[in-house]
Chains A and B, each alone.
Chain A
Amino acid sequence: MAHSTAAAVTGKSVWDGGASPMNASYGKLMMWFFLLSDAFTFSGLLITYGLVRSSHQAYEGLVSAFTFSTEYWPIPEKVFEAVPFLHGYELPLVFVGIMTFILIMSSVTMVLAVEAGHRMDRKAVEKWMLWTIIGGITFLSCQAWEWTHFIVGTDTATLKDVFNTKTGLWEQIKVTGANLHVNQYGPQPFADFFFFITGFHGFHVFSGVLLNFLIYYNTVTGVYERRGHYEMVEKVGLYWHFVDLVWVFVFTFFYLV
């Protein structure tokens, strides 16, 4: 079959490397182990988030009476409730839900491209790769909007007590939006983790879009047809699904919990 590719067709004996021990080619195995190491990196980020969050004061009052304060960790669904073109409406998690849907759909189109590759169907691979690229770009655009909204902030500012080193007095300042210095939504690490975790994931999506485009280009120019198999689509597909998988965890641990 076309998908148990290169390793199987070398014609060498088993003892000369003619057979692949895990019945997967070198490239595919290395992709798997790279993704495993990447999973550890993302786990490091998400678990540190868990550590810092659980060591902070949690919000104790009624959910309906929640207001932003730098004294306690915010309820995420109160932070992420804005949707483009619907200013002023409280729509918790709706936009993140749309983003999740986009990424899952692009994972489906990717797996359809892999299936088409097994059948040597160049036209279908081109079609599904193009849809996957569009999905990736759409997701990145959504993220750009979400970051902008997070950085700019809400209409009402949050009051924060700061110590003025010149006068030696505590004073109250107004904070809108968030960056790596101030954060209107809660304690500073909340904003820092938002930028680092979604940023690192967004960077993976960006790299994935570039790789997908490379695959698309090679498909269109017939590189894989001449090579006789579409294994590169499978390898990059593994990466793309992993990006989707990470988002599933980010969605749960950053936005839902």
Chain B
Amino acid sequence: MAHHAHEPQVTVLPPDKAKIKKLWTVALYLLVITIFEFAVAFLVPHEYKQLRVWIFVGMTIVKAGYIVGEFMHLRYEVKVLFWSILIPVLFIVWMLVAFVYEGIKMPVFQ
């Protein structure tokens, strides 16, 4: 085998038990939040529309925080990178508020 000599010597490190445990804990949180959302969907009556929506939106932001912060590792990146990603997201919030407001004020399809 000609290129066998070029195979590098690789030292495999043992699994980082604490880190892996943390990842599974985050997965558990995500699961629990999703189950909680289901509970709200079935237990809180549709008459409380506002309350339902705010719970769903809040839980979604918490889930997004865990996915981006822990799974995508953004929490542990340099502060400049962290804010370069987070600040532009404010535009999305603005867009959401503006468009839904517009939709309520302009019932063109009714």
Which A residues have a C-beta under 8 Å from some C-beta of B? Answer: 21-24, 29, 32, 36, 39-40, 43-44, 47-48, 50-57, 63, 75, 77, 92-93, 97, 100-101, 104-105, 107-108, 110-112, 115-116, 118-122, 124, 187, 189, 222, 225-226, 228, 237-238, 241-242, 244-245, 248-249, 251-252, 256-257
A48 closest partner in B (C-beta): B99
> B30's contact among A51, A56, A104, by CB below 8 Å, is which?
A104
Q: Are B20 and A40 in contact (CB under 8 A)?
A: no
Q: Are A93 and B108 in contact (CB under 8 A)?
A: no
Q: Are B12 and A120 in contact (CB under 8 A)?
A: yes
The secondary structure that dominates the A interface is: helix
> A228's contact among B8, B46, B59, by CB below 8 Å, is which?
B8
> B71's contact among A43, A100, A111, by CB below 8 Å, is which?
A111
Q: Are B103 and A54 in contact (CB under 8 A)?
A: yes
Q: Are B100 and A47 in contact (CB under 8 A)?
A: yes
Which 4 A/B pairs are nearest by Cβ-Cβ distance?
A: A54-B103, A119-B13, A51-B103, A22-B81
> B78's contact among A23, A249, A252, by CB below 8 Å, is which?
A23
Q: Apart from A23-B78, A36-B85, list 16 A-B contacts with CB within 8 A.
A: A47-B92, A55-B104, A56-B107, A56-B109, A63-B46, A93-B38, A104-B31, A119-B13, A119-B16, A120-B10, A120-B12, A122-B12, A226-B6, A226-B7, A226-B8, A241-B67
A173 CB, min distance to chain B CBs, angstroms: 20
Given A115-B16, A226-B8: A248 touches B67 (CB 8 Å cut-off): yes
Q: Quick one: which of B16, B19, B95 has the most chain A CB within 10 A?
A: B95
The docked-state distance in angstroms from the alpha carbon of A124 to that of B14 is: 11
Complex contacts, B38 vs chain A, CB 8 Å: 93, 97
The docked-state distance in angstroms from the alpha carbon of A257 to that of B31 is: 19
The docked-state distance in angstroms from the alpha carbon of A122 to that of B12 is: 8
Given A111-B71, A241-B71, A256-B56: A75 touches B103 (CB 8 Å cut-off): no
Given A51-B99, A248-B63: A29 touches B8 (CB 8 Å cut-off): no
Q: Are B81 and A51 in contact (CB under 8 A)?
A: no
Q: Are A53 and B103 in contact (CB under 8 A)?
A: yes
Given A23-B77, A75-B46: A108 touches B19 (CB 8 Å cut-off): no
How would residues 48 to 71 of chain B score, 1 for a CB under 8 Å from any chain A CB and 0 otherwise? 000011001101100110011011
Is B5 located at the chain interface by the 8 A CB criterion?
no
Give 29 CB contacts A-B under 8 Å. Answer: A21-B80, A32-B85, A36-B85, A40-B91, A43-B92, A43-B96, A47-B99, A47-B100, A48-B99, A50-B96, A51-B99, A51-B102, A55-B108, A55-B109, A56-B110, A77-B41, A101-B31, A107-B67, A108-B27, A110-B71, A112-B20, A112-B23, A115-B19, A119-B12, A121-B12, A238-B72, A241-B71, A248-B64, A257-B57
